[in-house]
Structure 1
Amino acid sequence: MATAPQNPALPLFYKDLVPLNSQQHASWKTRSTDKATWLVGVNSVPLTVEEFPQAQRNFPIIFTAGENPVPLVLMGMNEGVNVYVDEDGTVNTPVYVPAYARRYPFMLARLRPDAEELSLCIDPTSDLVGEGEDGQALFDGTEPTEATTNMLKFCENFEIAGTKTANFMAELAKHNLLMDGELNIDIGTGQPFTYRGFQMVDETKLREVRGDVLRQWNQNGMLPLIYAHLFSLDLVREIFGRQVSQGKGPQVLPSA
């Protein structure tokens, strides 16, 4: 169900990644846009656990399959389909946009595998950064501008949220709460559409968690986040319906 990055060696959205520096990018600027072209055709986007309360109002929240699962929001039920972003990048409905997508084309990354510090990097192929007259300067001489420091802070907060998300996922794994997911959508044709390839919280096992653990989860805010995920799954039918209304629904095979 998840859309893979075009280059497996790079994170989703990024076609290239270079460290931002005042020598190479002295005259570069960052530009705002009302188009999210990098989201076109992307049906799932990584999500931090802090975003669950906002995201669950608009999207189903699922977890990737396999080891080291991460949370995702579904913006389309099939690969290559995003029902909220038109072909020109226009977000066609007011929805919450995950921080992962809002930080593009910036991100914090290690310049070397053994490096301890993260450096602010950019995707130089993006039209949101580069030389030109429009936009906010990234550097004032050798010093970063307010625009750059604000983006650095945003990316730092994203990394902090990522650590909290990893802790949340580790707690789910500790109690073996994730199960292979399956979503069935019946549109009345007698041939339901079935979606697999993801994980979800097992409600049966959740009901069996010890009371002292549930009390701790309630106090630290984890329990409401689990239920935000579970409640959000009801939105798959809305996503599916939007796909069908946009002519992007899966094909119904003729009866034998």
Structure 2
Amino acid sequence: MASAPQLPLFYNGLEPLSSELHANYKIRSSNVAPFLTGQHAIPLTVEEFPLVQRFMPIVFSSGDDSIPIALMGLNEGVNVFVDDAGALTEDNLYVPAYVRRYPYMLARLRPDADELSLCFDPTTDTIGAFDDGEPLFADGQPTELTRNILQFNENFEQAAARTGQFMTEIRDAGLLMEGEVTIQQDGIDQPFVYRGFQMVDEQKLADLRGDQLRKMSQSGMLPLLYAHLFSLSLMRDIFARQVKLGKMPQPQLVA
């Protein structure tokens, strides 16, 4: 098993998928994701904005290397879209690709390696030498299922690269600002204030020069910025879901 001091969200380890070591491994289907139950913020790729903005607020993490994230809850440890077992509570919910990618990911086996290898989290209970399930290899070759998994992960990496470029452009344009949302609940004097994220400054976006706006519109970037801004209205919906589930936050908590 190859592990790193700082593994990505959800992953407890990474092991390269091998036709020799894992020749008899199979995949069991599962309709639950226990790893998702306590996660309130999920990384996004920029192409997902139009789909995600229908269900979850899209914000940007704090810091200079910020990334887009979907909020599945407003407080750490709270996810309003899954039950305690990790099953989705809605049939038509869009699930971010970062979640659907698990337990696989492309990774460099050595820091100096140029190529990315398909790896998996060996602690998952969906991959193993099971009697039942879909095989990963047949006659020493990847099955169609494994090839599809590899293609999905390659597509994800390409989308992540485009997302990185998107983030560079909005930072260079000076469009990000520190975010804050205040929610006043009936019957409680103290408002709930959420900080610790970034958002697009609407005024700065409106003040951009015409040529800058035209470039963003032609590149498809402008609609994505508005998808983010429109999604912020869902903050109060997520808060209401937390209240309904009895997962009441405390005033002044940071998202």
Coarse TM-score class (shorter-chain normalised): over 0.9
In the other structure, the counterpart of 2:148 is 150
In the other structure, the counterpart of 2:182 is 184
SS in 1 for 2:213: helix
In the other structure, the counterpart of 2:223 is 224
1:54 aligns with 2:51: yes
In the other structure, the counterpart of 2:130 is 132
In the other structure, the counterpart of 1:79 is 76
1:58-89 Cα shifts (integer Å, max 9, x gaps): 00001010111100000000000001011111
22, 25, 37: which one pairs with 2:22? 25
Aligned equivalents of 1:47, 1:90: Cα separation in 2:
20
SS in 1 for 2:60: strand
1:211 aligns with 2:210: yes
Contact map agreement 2:39 2:72 (CA 8 A) in 1: yes
List gaps (5 residues or longer) in structure 2: none
Q: Deviation at 1:127?
A: 0.7
Contact map agreement 1:22 1:141 (CA 8 A) in 2: no
40, 45, 51: which one pairs with 2:42? 45
1:155-197 Cα shifts (integer Å, max 9, x gaps): 0000010011011101101111101111111113231100111
AA in 2 matched with 1:190: D
1:98-133 Cα shifts (integer Å, max 9, x gaps): 000001101001111111110000001101111111
In the other structure, the counterpart of 1:197 is 196
- Tell me how large the CA RMSD over aligned residues is: 1.3
Aligned equivalents of 1:46, 1:87: Cα separation in 2:
21
Contact map agreement 1:111 1:118 (CA 8 A) in 2: yes
Contact map agreement 1:183 1:195 (CA 8 A) in 2: yes
**How many residue pairs align between the two structures?**
247
Contact map agreement 2:25 2:127 (CA 8 A) in 1: yes
What is the aligned-residue identity percentage? 57
AA in 1 matched with 2:241: R
Aligned equivalents of 1:252, 1:46: Cα separation in 2:
25
In the other structure, the counterpart of 2:108 is 110
In the other structure, the counterpart of 2:11 is 14
Q: Deviation at 1:252?
A: 5.8
Normalised by the length of structure 1, the TM-score is 0.94
AA in 2 matched with 1:117: E
Q: Deviation at 1:8?
A: 6.0
List gaps (5 residues or longer) in structure 1: 1-6
1:166 aligns with 2:164: yes
SS in 1 for 2:241: helix
Aligned equivalents of 1:198, 1:114: Cα separation in 2:
33
The 1:238–1:70 alpha-carbon spacing in structure 2 relative to 1, beyond 3 Å, is: same
1:119-157 Cα shifts (integer Å, max 9, x gaps): 000001101111111211111122111110000000000
